[in-house]
């Protein structure tokens, strides 16, 4: 591969003004007017900040909708197996009935997916840093679509296990890869809102697939296929089409203005996507986020250095708790609702499952933009929603009774609301900390490790809970009580980890300058030094 190096850029404009003021004072023999220079700098900062905000909004239109669609489809295919367990159960056409799966076998299959996710998250994300990011994201969606559609052909326990393993392998790196991809175009402190925006796809997916599954159940028997088989086939086909479209739509890694890379090898056969920015916009973005354009080569020593960074582990424990509860509710939500009201039909279960994720979506849209504006308080914005989850699980566990199941359902709505902002905030905080300290590979490796190791929480809730306790198999008001209490326990661990992380960041890193922490001081980094944006319409815009 050959490329032309970008020519060195000129100093920032405010540096030119400072030099000009000093030169004028030297010629006249007077002292430089520092107040006048500050006014000039402030005015030019405001103009440049307005330009960069317009550029970020332009990037939003190119990246966020594509990520939203990608994530919607992958989340739907990943979670459809949970719905298939109860679809058309009255006719004995559910996945459980067709394959004669026991609850333990179902949990094993679900857990195998997350084991592979954990094992392959880090390698997948590191490969993405070396290859074309938009091609890698396309590869993920194509793989998920193909493997997802194969679920329609399930015929035995062994191929159920096999497809769950394959799905975990092909989808690995998707979620941390998206977080890493954003840092190629935005400062990490601005990614929380964007992560939240496309993360709503998971909530819409959970709500919509619950509603749409009711429609698929009406297709049961059409063309000789069950309702769940139609569901897997159609979602898989749409994902394959989306994976092909992404090759043209998603921009590749940004290049410095004036730089061109000639495709070689297999890249010659890949469709070239249009650059994210051109002309003046590309120059302004280059000066604002210079660190992205001049990232250092990395090796395994850098990865081991990241593994030794103590900041990785509180973030992982935070993620462990909230993602474990989220996946537990996603996979077993319909079973929990049925336990509260055994009279509900499978269609009613699907319809009641959806509002949980509507509450989740609302919380994301409310909280994540505010957390970006007050990014020094990530621990607080994480911990309050986790407290809401704990309250909801307590209500679901202890409220109501056999004749009044609806208070327990309200508890699940509370859990959904509390879940929403926690995962985006955790990933954003990871990017903020590790880009400053370790650069591009820090974001790629840390986000993958937090996501991968944190998903051991998913293994816990899918394998050990809701089928592991004897009481979970006994019908009645106390069913799933112990599993709910275990989820409350791991959420308490998440709060403790967030509090510990916040305190350690304050007392260990609080007195260090960004340069001492390894940060590259481009315009975006300097802008962060001005402080938080708060609720006001400041120079930083949105």
For every residue of 367-379, DSSP letters joined together read HHHHHHHTGGGHH
pLDDT in tens, 223-251: 888 888 898 999 999 999 999 999 889 99
Nearby residues of 211 by Cβ (< 8 Å), 6 or more positions away: 350, 351, 354
The HSE-up count of residue 79 (CA atoms within 13 Å, CB side) is 31
Instruction: State the first-to-last Cα distance of the chain, in angstroms, to the nearest integer.
Output: 38
pLDDT the model gives residue 143: 95
In this structure, what CATH number is given to the domain that contains residue 220? Answer: 1.20.1250.20
pLDDT of 470 above 70: no
pLDDT of residue 190: 86
Q: Does residue 288 carry a pLDDT above 90?
A: no
Residue among 499, 465, 480, 505 at smallest CA distance from 386 = 499
319 pLDDT above the threshold of 60: yes
Q: What's phi and psi for 3, nearest 5 deg?
A: -150, 150
Q: What is the pLDDT of residue 484?
A: 85
pLDDT at 394 over 70: yes
C-alpha pair distances (Å), 55 with each of 14, 96, 280, 333? 20, 50, 10, 41
The predicted pLDDT at position 474 comes to 67
At 182 the pLDDT is 94
Residue 29 lies in a domain: no
Contact 459, 118 (CB under 8 A): yes
Domains contained in the chain, number: 1
Confidence grade of residue 147 (pLDDT, cut at 50, 70, 90)? very high
Q: What is the pLDDT of residue 403?
A: 74
Give me Rg for the CA atoms of the chain: 25
Higher confidence at residue 361 or residue 37? 361
pLDDT band at 198 (very low <50, low <70, confident <90, very high): very high
Is residue 5 included in any domain, yes or no?
no
Whether residue 146 lies inside any domain: the answer is yes
Residue 88: inside a domain:
yes
**What distances in angstroms separate CA 354 from CA 42, 99, 202, 465, one per listed residue?**
49, 26, 12, 22
pLDDT confidence band for 85 (50 / 70 / 90) = confident
Report residue 102's pLDDT band, with 50, 70 and 90 as the boundaries: confident
What integer is the mean pLDDT of 414-436?
Answer: 93
Whether residue 65 lies inside any domain: the answer is: yes
Q: What percent of the chain has pLDDT over 90?
A: 37
pTM for the model: 0.80
Q: Tell me the pLDDT tens digit for each residue of 324-372.
A: 898 888 777 877 888 778 788 877 887 888 888 889 989 999 999 999 8
Residue 355 placed within a domain: yes
Q: Is the predicted pLDDT of residue 452 greater than 60, yes or no?
A: yes
Residue 532 has what pLDDT?
59
Q: Which pLDDT belongs to residue 533?
A: 61
Give the pair of three-digit tokens for residue 512.
């260090």
Question: Does the pLDDT value for residue 12 go beyond 80?
Answer: no
pLDDT at residue 459 greater than cutoff 80: no
Domain hosting 481: range is 47-257+273-507
Q: Please report whether residue 473 resides in a domain.
A: yes
> Under 8 Å CB-to-CB from 434, ≥6 apart: which residues?
306, 309, 311, 312, 442, 443, 445, 446, 447
pLDDT band at residue 214 under the 50/70/90 scheme? confident
Higher pLDDT, residue 491 or 18: 491
Percentages of the chain per state (helix, strand, coil), in multiples of 5: 75, 0, 25
pLDDT band at 467, cuts 50/70/90?
low
Whether residue 517 lies inside any domain: the answer is: no
pLDDT at 94 over 90: no
Mean pLDDT of the chain: 82
pLDDT band at 105 (very low <50, low <70, confident <90, very high): confident
């Amino acid at each position: 591969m050959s490329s032309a190096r970008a020519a060195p850029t000129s100093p920032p404009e405010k540096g030119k003004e400072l030099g000009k003021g000093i030169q004028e004072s030297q010629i006249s023999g007077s002292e430089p007017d520092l107040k006048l220079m500050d006014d000039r700098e402030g005015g030019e900062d405001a103009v440049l900040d307005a330009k960069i905000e317009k550029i970020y909004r332009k990037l939003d239109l190119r990246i966020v909708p594509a990520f939203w669609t990608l994530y919607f489809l992958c989340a739907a295919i990943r979670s459809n197996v949970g719905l298939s367990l109860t679809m058309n159960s009255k006719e004995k056409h559910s996945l459980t009935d067709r394959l004669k799966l026991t609850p333990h076998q179902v949990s094993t299959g679900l857990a195998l997916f997350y084991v592979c996710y954990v094992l392959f998250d880090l390698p997948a994300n590191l490969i993405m840093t070396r290859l074309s990011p938009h091609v890698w994201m396309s590869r993920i969606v194509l793989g998920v679509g193909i493997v997802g559609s194969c679920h329609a052909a399930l015929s035995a326990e062994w191929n159920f296990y096999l497809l769950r393993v394959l799905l975990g392998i092909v989808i690995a790196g998707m979620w941390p890869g998206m977080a890493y991809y954003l840092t190629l175009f935005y400062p990490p402190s601005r990614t929380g809102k964007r992560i939240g925006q496309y993360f709503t796809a998971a909530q819409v997916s959970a709500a919509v697939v619950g509603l749409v599954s009711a429609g698929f159940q009406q297709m049961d028997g059409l063309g000789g296929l069950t309702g769940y088989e139609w569901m897997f086939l159609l979602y898989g086909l749409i994902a394959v089409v989306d994976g092909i479209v992404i090759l043209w739509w998603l921009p590749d890694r940004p290049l410095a203005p004036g730089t061109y890379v000639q495709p070689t090898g297999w890249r010659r056969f890949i469709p070239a996507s249009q650059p994210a920015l051109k002309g003046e916009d590309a120059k302004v973005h280059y000066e604002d986020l210079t660190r992205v354009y001049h990232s250092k080569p990395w090796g395994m020593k850098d990865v081991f250095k990241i593994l030794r960074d103590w900041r990785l582990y509180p973030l992982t424990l935070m993620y462990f708790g909230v993602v474990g509860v989220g996946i537990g509710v996603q996979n077993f939500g319909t079973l929990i609702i049925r336990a509260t009201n055994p009279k509900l039909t499978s269609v009613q279960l699907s319809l009641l499952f959806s509002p949980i994720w509507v509450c989740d979506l609302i919380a994301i849209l409310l909280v994540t933009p505010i957390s970006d504006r007050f990014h020094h308080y990530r621990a607080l914005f994480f911990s309050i929603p986790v407290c809401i989850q704990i309250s909801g699980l307590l209500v679901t566990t202890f409220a109501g009774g056999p004749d009044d199941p609806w208070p327990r359902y309200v508890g699940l709505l509370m859990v959904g609301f509390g879940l929403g902002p926690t995962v985006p905030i955790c990933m954003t905080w990871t990017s903020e900390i590790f880009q400053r300290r370790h650069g591009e590979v820090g974001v790629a490796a840390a986000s993958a490790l937090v996501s991968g190791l944190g998903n051991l929480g998913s293994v816990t809730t899918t394998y050990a809970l809701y089928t592991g306790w004897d009481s979970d198999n006994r019908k009645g008001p106390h069913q799933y009580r112990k599993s709910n209490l275990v989820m409350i326990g791991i959420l308490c661990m998440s709060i403790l980890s967030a509090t510990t992380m916040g305190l350690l960041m304050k007392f260990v890193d609080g007195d260090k300058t960004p340069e001492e922490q390894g940060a590259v001081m481009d315009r975006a980094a300097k802008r962060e030094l001005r402080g938080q944006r708060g609720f006001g319409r400041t120079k930083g815009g949105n």
